[in-house]
Amino acid sequence: MTAAATAKAPAGAPGRTTGPRADALAGTAVLVRFNLRRDRVRTSVWIAALLLGTLGTLSSLQSSYDTAAKRASAADSLDSPAGLALSGPAHYLNDYTYGAMLGHQLISFLGVLIALMSVLMVTRHTRTEEETGRAELLRATVVGRHAHLTAALLTAGLANLVLGLLTALGLGASGAAGVGWHGSLLFGAVYAATGIVFAAIAAVTVQFSQYSRGASGMALAALGAAFALRAVGDAGSGALSWLSPIGWGQRTYVYVDNRWWPLLLSCALAAAATALAYALSVRRDVGAGLRATRPGSPVASAGLLQPVGFALRLHLGMLIGFGTGLLLLGAMYGSVLSEVEKMIEDVAEVQESLEELGGASITESFASSVMTLLGVVAALYAVLAALRPQSEETAGRAEPLLATGLSRDRWLGSHLTVALAGGLGVLLLGGLGFGLAGAATTGDGELVVELTGAAMAYAPAVWFVVGVAVVLYGWLPRATVLSWVLPGYAFVVGYLGQLLGFADWLRDLSPLGHVPMLPAAELEWTPLVVLTLLAGALVACGLAGFRRRDLETK
Amino acid sequence: MMKATTAISVSGLTKSFGQTRALDGLDLRVGTGEVHGFLGPNGAGKSTTIRVLLGLLRSDRGAASVLGADPWQDAVALHRRLAYVPGDVELWPNLTGGEAIDLLAKLRGGLDRRRRDELIERFALDPAKKGRTYSKGNRQKVAIVAALASDAELLLLDEPTAGLDPLMEVVFQDVIGEARAAGKTVLLSSHILAQVEKLCDRVSIVRLGQVVQSGTLRELRHLTRTTVEAETASPVTGLDTLDGVHDVRVEGEDGLRVRFAVDGPHLDAAVRRLTDFGVRGLTSHPPTLEELMLRHYGDAPPSTTDGVGGTPGPARKASGGTDGPQDASHDTTGTTGTDRGDDTLGASR
């Protein structure tokens, strides 16, 4: 272990002779311990939540589907493009044991969260450190060129291995029918591999962007693409799923066939991405991105001098990211609409399902599920955008502005204007992408208007999310992290709720749950108007709180 | 219309952050048209005071009035009449310095384009660079230019030149001098004593959230001790029995050099005593600002009777003890008191 051998160097003999390779890694072990120490609460919470989510799902499956007949009907209900896009490949459905259910439903859902944990962890320990200048301080000690990146990857790898091991032990020890030890080990390995792949992807993106926000944004875009590819692939022919690391995990057919070899793809991608990250990292300076910063305009344009124009400038990157992301996500789902229609013609059982759905067609119910997902992503944007003023404030950049003739209302109001309009805008783009691609593949031009309108019905719910974030920001700025509960809960309810059949009141707790499920359901104006009014009241309340409180200063 | 004579008036200001009491009954008065130095150790409450004056923080108790208005209630109207430079300027990473200057000045209520360009020129700032690429000193320049490019009556400057190079420090002092000539009021929080000594009409020294001393430099000096060094024909005795004389040290092998500190009111008696021994050389200098500050920066509460005042800095004491002859020969080079004070201040930077 070169890293361990040189780890003592910062404290001890700096003059000790070590090879150039070891020098580049000097201090890695110390940094890993330091990372673990800094993250001890955060990572423990992540791992515990993911573990409990997995084991909790198993026990909920055991109580909900306690007979073979119920399990078979669960398999039937998921055997549609919408169901498969939400869960996983249809091969799991042949013998829908508890184990098959876990592999089918949980890998894509928790895989996203595991990847999120890994991306945030790697970004936090690399680019954030550089951005704040802390890395420079450490790099000036006996810490090698590759130490930060290596330590971040080792920290993330360790967290994922622990998560995988605990998951394997927990599932294996559960003794549930169809959940054997071999499958449980593979299941844990799928978790760990998914996390490690995205840690490696984040290691690449942190080389590109100078800002941690941009770096994690790029890695999360890759995650979104991985999720969408497997969703679209599983709803259709399955080919696209082979382009997705999450798809590889699902194609182990854990508890069904217990194939290990798809994980080789994950290992290969992780290794390749890691190698690329190291190669890129030596081509740039500490604190810099790969591309040199270009000079900009020496004077401000007229638009920038308006508070809203200024806020838009700050939000632009995020807005473009989410806008294109949703456009592509919508387009990917839209591109399989014709396959969904074909399925209706092929499958006889569909006629029954049609009646169950109260007259809505399979296409429409598929579209409604996609809308829920677009709504959740737009809600994520809403929280990020609504909390953007807070990052301005804590970074000390609000203070000079608020010391000018700009009132607090106008400053926060301009950010919120962008957040509210942006929420509508990203929904519009998502619906447009879905509608355009759907119209192109099915030849039904009316889909464009219909699906775009359906997506925009989520705007009041998204505004409500903005409102909640603003109230927290105005009154309890330390508690703004709670705003993430809304999109998180909406994801769980909208996603797992559809799979596990949650009770209606659980759905009603989410603002997104009140949005009519267009186009499958009828358009109802009342919930939309109520949500809009509530959002307006929440925003007003948040502004009032911000007017009254001290500015957070450094 | 008569112009108000008080620009800033603060009394009994109290502000706590959780358990920490940042301001503890602070009083401050800054007259219109005056450049007021605001001195104190780190964490004394200088920045908190300025943020209360800006209406960014709300005080727990006490009254504050800025340009005749309440800084919390009338914050926005007030901000159009003042400009602020924080001690640690943060810029938007994807905006250029020029854009940030324009934005801040525009939001303050107007931008004098000619003045802006002139200041950018004088401070040798590249306005086309992105905020992320500026060094600390250049970020400060952006805020200084933005503050001075608008026509504000009052400048609130919180350690504005932290990170500026000495050349830019000179430019800054010139610019503030011009602002004073134009009748603007300046509250200048600073650690750079030479800057304060050069620019400020009055100073307030703040410690543990209270102003412990306030007045013109001349007044403050009068309150404290003068250092006297004398060369006499015969060894001086009995100085330490006089009232108000401290830290008597006899130097030189023959004991014919003496240095001591003496409280202002007792200077006359001490000098009379010296003449009994045949004065051959005499230098005296008023306490430097640094010495004034050191009296208030220490942990012990300030007092004029417990001898703290006689501590003109540990370095000086040590040099007196170990390098006596060398120190004495330096003194005989004949630097006059006040000049020497400036030297000390310069060195303290």
3-state secondary structure B1-13: CCCCCEEEEEEEE
B58 shares its domain with B135 = yes
DSSP state of A293: P
Shortest Cα–Cα distance, A392 to chain B (Å)? 9
pLDDT digits (tens, 9 = 90+) for A177-234: 889 999 999 999 999 999 999 999 999 999 998 888 889 989 999 998 999 899 888 8
Whether A391 shows a pLDDT value over 80: the answer reads yes
A242 shares its domain with A313 = no
* Chain B residue nearest residue A315, CA to CA: B94
Query: Percentage of chain A surpassing pLDDT 90?
Result: 58
B126 shares its domain with B11 = yes
Sign of the alpha-carbon dihedral angle for B217, B218, B221, B227: positive
Are A401 and B107 spatial neighbours (Cβ–Cβ below 8 Å)?
yes
* Chain A residue nearest residue B80, CA to CA: A405
Paired with B283 in beta bridges are B229
Whether A542 shows a pLDDT value over 90: the answer reads yes
Shortest Cα–Cα distance, A129 to chain B (Å)? 15
Residue B205 domain flag:
yes
A315 shares its domain with A455 = yes
What average pLDDT score do residues A261-277 get?
A: 97
Are A148 and A31 spatial neighbours (Cβ–Cβ below 8 Å)?
yes
Residue A9 domain flag:
no
Whether B183 shows a pLDDT value over 90: the answer reads yes
- With CB atoms and an 8 Å threshold, state whether A298 touches B128: yes
Residue A430 domain flag:
yes
Closest by CA to A109, choosing from A413, A504, A498, is: A498
Strand spans (E) along chain B: 6-17, 20-31, 35-39, 61-66, 82-85, 154-158, 185-189, 202-207, 210-216, 225-232, 245-251, 257-263, 279-285
- With CB atoms and an 8 Å threshold, state whether A296 touches B79: no
A305 touches chain B (CB under 8 A): yes
A256, A290, A324: which is the final residue of a domain?
A: A290
Looking at beta carbons, which residues of chain A come within 8 Å of B156?
403
Looking at beta carbons, which residues of chain A come within 8 Å of B126?
295
CB atoms within 10 A of CB A400: 26
Residue A175 domain flag:
yes
A352 shares its domain with A252 = no
What average pLDDT score do residues B113-140 get?
A: 93
- Amino acid letter at A413? G
A399 touches chain B (CB under 8 A): yes
Q: What's the first-to-final CA gap in chain A, in angstroms?
A: 41
Buried b (16+ CB within 10 A) or exposed e, B239-268: beebebbbbbebbeeeebbbbbbbbbebbe
Paired with A224 in beta bridges are none
Phi-psi category of residue A80: left, alpha or beta, with phi > 0 → left and psi -120 to 50 → alpha: beta
Q: What's the first-to-final CA gap in chain B, in angstroms?
A: 44
Sign of the alpha-carbon dihedral angle for B129, B132, B137, B139: positive
Interior CA angle at B296 toward B290 and B301, to 5°? 155
Residue B100: domain span: 6-219
Q: Looking at the 3D structure of chain B, how many domains does it have?
A: 2
Q: Is B315 exposed, middle or buried (0-12, 13-18, 19+ CB in 10 A)?
A: exposed
Find all residues with CB under 8 Å of A304, minimum gap 6, and list them.
A310, A313, B95, B99, B102, B103
Whether A253 shows a pLDDT value over 50: the answer reads yes
B59 shares its domain with B146 = yes
pLDDT confidence tier of residue B328, bands split at 50, 70 and 90? very low
Residue B275 domain flag:
yes
Task: Indicate which CATH number applies to the domain containing B98.
Answer: 3.40.50.300
Whether A505 shows a pLDDT value over 90: the answer reads no
- Distance between CA atoms of A144 and A156, rounded to whole angstroms? 19
Least confident segment among A328-332, A340-344, B5-9: A340-344
Closest by CA to A160, choosing from A227, A115, A222, A225, is: A115
Paired with B39 in beta bridges are B205
Are B200 and B187 spatial neighbours (Cβ–Cβ below 8 Å)?
no
A225 shares its domain with A310 = no
Q: What is the reported pLDDT for A346?
A: 59
Q: Phi, psi (5° rounding) for residue B10? A: -130, 135
Of the partner residues B82, B94, B103, the one whose CB lies closest to the CB of residue A300: B103
Give me the helix-helix angle, A147-174 and A181-208, nearest 10°. Answer: 160
Whether B311 shows a pLDDT value over 70: the answer reads no
A290, A314, A345: which is the final residue of a domain?
A: A290
Whether B110 shows a pLDDT value over 50: the answer reads yes
Find all residues with CB under 8 Å of A51, minimum gap 6, and list them.
A163, A166, A167, A170
Tokens of residue B208, six digits: 């543990």
Residue A329 domain flag:
yes
Are B148 and B142 spatial neighbours (Cβ–Cβ below 8 Å)?
no
- Walk across the sheet containing B279-285 and list its strands: B245-251, B257-263, B225-232, B279-285
* Chain A residue nearest residue B55, CA to CA: A403
Looking at beta carbons, which residues of chain B come within 8 Å of A406?
76, 79, 107
Least confident segment among A406-415, A424-433, B244-253, B299-308: B299-308
A366 shares its domain with A499 = yes
* Chain B residue nearest residue A393, CA to CA: B90
* Chain B residue nearest residue A292, CA to CA: B133
A485 touches chain B (CB under 8 A): no
Q: Looking at the 3D structure of chain A, how many domains does it have?
A: 2
Whether A26 shows a pLDDT value over 70: the answer reads yes
Whether A361 shows a pLDDT value over 90: the answer reads no
Residue A119: domain span: 27-290
- With CB atoms and an 8 Å threshold, state whether B96 touches A297: yes
B136 shares its domain with B283 = no
B158, B192, B219: which is the final residue of a domain?
A: B219
Give how far Cα B129 sits from Cα of A304, A315, B211, Å.
16, 20, 41
What average pLDDT score do residues B72-86 get?
A: 93
A367 shares its domain with A258 = no
B241 shares its domain with B211 = no
SS3 category, A193: helix
> What residues 121-180 of chain A have any CB closer than 8 A to a CB of chain B?
none
Interface test with A, best of B99, B108, B126 (most A CBs within 10 A): B99
Of the partner residues B79, B93, B99, the one whose CB lies closest to the CB of residue A404: B79
B198 shares its domain with B251 = no
Of the partner residues B51, B83, B127, the one whose CB lies closest to the CB of residue A553: B51
* Chain B residue nearest residue A399, CA to CA: B56
Q: What is the reported pLDDT for A352?
A: 52
* Chain A residue nearest residue B48, CA to CA: A553
A281 shares its domain with A327 = no
- With CB atoms and an 8 Å threshold, state whether A299 touches B127: yes
* Chain A residue nearest residue B94, CA to CA: A314
Paired with B235 in beta bridges are none
- Distance between CA atoms of A137 and A122, rounded to whole angstroms? 19
Shortest Cα–Cα distance, A393 to chain B (Å)? 10
- With CB atoms and an 8 Å threshold, state whether B88 touches A399: no
Q: What is the reported pLDDT for B298?
A: 59
B193, B219, B245: which is the final residue of a domain?
A: B219
SS3 category, B96: strand
SS3 category, A297: coil
A262 shares its domain with A149 = yes
Chain B residues whose C-beta sits inside 8 Å of any chain A C-beta: 47, 51, 54, 56-58, 75-77, 79-80, 82-84, 86, 88-96, 98-99, 101-104, 106-109, 126-130, 132-133, 143, 146, 156
A286 shares its domain with A310 = no
- With CB atoms and an 8 Å threshold, state whether A299 touches B94: no
- Distance between CA atoms of B56 and B144, rounded to whole angstroms? 19
pLDDT confidence tier of residue A358, bands split at 50, 70 and 90? low
In which element (H, E) is residue B346 found?
Answer: helix B337-348
- With CB atoms and an 8 Å threshold, state whether B79 touches A299: no
In which element (H, E) is residue A345 found?
Answer: helix A337-346
- With CB atoms and an 8 Å threshold, state whether A402 touches B57: no
Sign of the alpha-carbon dihedral angle for A278, A283, A284, A289: negative
* Chain A residue nearest residue B86, CA to CA: A400
What average pLDDT score do residues B265-288 get?
A: 87
- With CB atoms and an 8 Å threshold, state whether B90 touches A395: yes
Shortest Cα–Cα distance, A307 to chain B (Å)? 8
- Distance between CA atoms of A316 and B322, rounded to whole angstroms? 65
B228 shares its domain with B211 = no
Looking at beta carbons, which residues of chain A come within 8 Å of B102?
299-300, 304-305
Of the partner residues B99, B108, B129, the one whose CB lies closest to the CB of residue A404: B108
A327 shares its domain with A251 = no
- With CB atoms and an 8 Å threshold, state whether B133 touches A300: no
Buried b (16+ CB within 10 A) or exposed e, A504-529: eeebeebbbbbbbbbbbbeeeeebbe
Sign of the alpha-carbon dihedral angle for A466, A468, A474, A480: negative
B82 shares its domain with B199 = yes
Of the partner residues A298, A403, A408, the one whose CB lies closest to the CB of residue B127: A298
Shortest Cα–Cα distance, B8 to chain A (Å)? 16
Sign of the alpha-carbon dihedral angle for A44, A47, A52, A53: positive
Q: What is the reported pLDDT for A209?
A: 85
A15 touches chain B (CB under 8 A): no
Task: Indicate which CATH number applies to the domain containing B338.
Answer: 3.30.70.250
Interface test with B, best of A299, A392, A393, A411 (most B CBs within 10 A): A299
- Distance between CA atoms of A167 and A161, rounded to whole angstroms? 10
A290, A312, A341: which is the final residue of a domain?
A: A290
- Walk across the sheet containing B20-31 and list its strands: B20-31, B6-17, B61-66
Of the partner residues B79, B109, B127, the one whose CB lies closest to the CB of residue A403: B79
Looking at beta carbons, which residues of chain A come within 8 Å of B51?
399, 551, 553
Q: What is the reported pLDDT for A500?
A: 67
Give me the helix-helix angle, A408-442 and A459-475, nearest 10°. Answer: 150
Of the partner residues B58, B109, B133, the one whose CB lies closest to the CB of residue A405: B109
B240 shares its domain with B214 = no
Residue B1 domain flag:
no
- With CB atoms and an 8 Å threshold, state whether B128 touches A296: yes
Q: What is the reported pLDDT for A21?
A: 63
Looking at beta carbons, which residues of chain A come within 8 Å of B92?
314, 397
B152 shares its domain with B286 = no
Are B34 and B201 spatial neighbours (Cβ–Cβ below 8 Å)?
yes
Residue B228 domain flag:
yes
Q: What is the reported pLDDT for B302?
A: 43
Of the partner residues B76, B88, B130, the one whose CB lies closest to the CB of residue A396: B88
Q: What is the reported pLDDT for A386?
A: 96
What average pLDDT score do residues B101-119 get?
A: 89
Whether B329 shows a pLDDT value over 70: the answer reads no
Q: What is the reported pLDDT for B349?
A: 30
- SS3 letters for A428-469? HHHHHHHHHHHHHHHCCCHHHHHHHHHHHCCHHHHHHHHHHH
Q: What is the reported pLDDT for A341?
A: 73
Residue B246 domain flag:
yes
Looking at beta carbons, which residues of chain A come within 8 Å of B98?
297-300
B162 shares its domain with B261 = no
Q: What is the reported pLDDT for B94?
A: 83
* Chain A residue nearest residue B17, CA to CA: A550
- Distance between CA atoms of A192 and A167, rounded to whole angstroms? 10
A92 shares its domain with A147 = yes
Of the partner residues B104, B130, B132, the one whose CB lies closest to the CB of residue A404: B104
- H helices present in A79-180, as ranges: 81-86, 98-101, 107-125, 127-132, 134-139, 147-174
Length of chain B, in residues: 349
Are B261 and B312 spatial neighbours (Cβ–Cβ below 8 Å)?
yes
Sign of the alpha-carbon dihedral angle for B11, B16, B19, B22: negative
A237 shares its domain with A318 = no
pLDDT digits (tens, 9 = 90+) for A11-23: 444 444 455 666 8
Closest by CA to B133, choosing from B91, B87, B98, is: B91
B271 shares its domain with B204 = no
Residue A17 domain flag:
no
Shortest Cα–Cα distance, B163 to chain A (Å)? 16
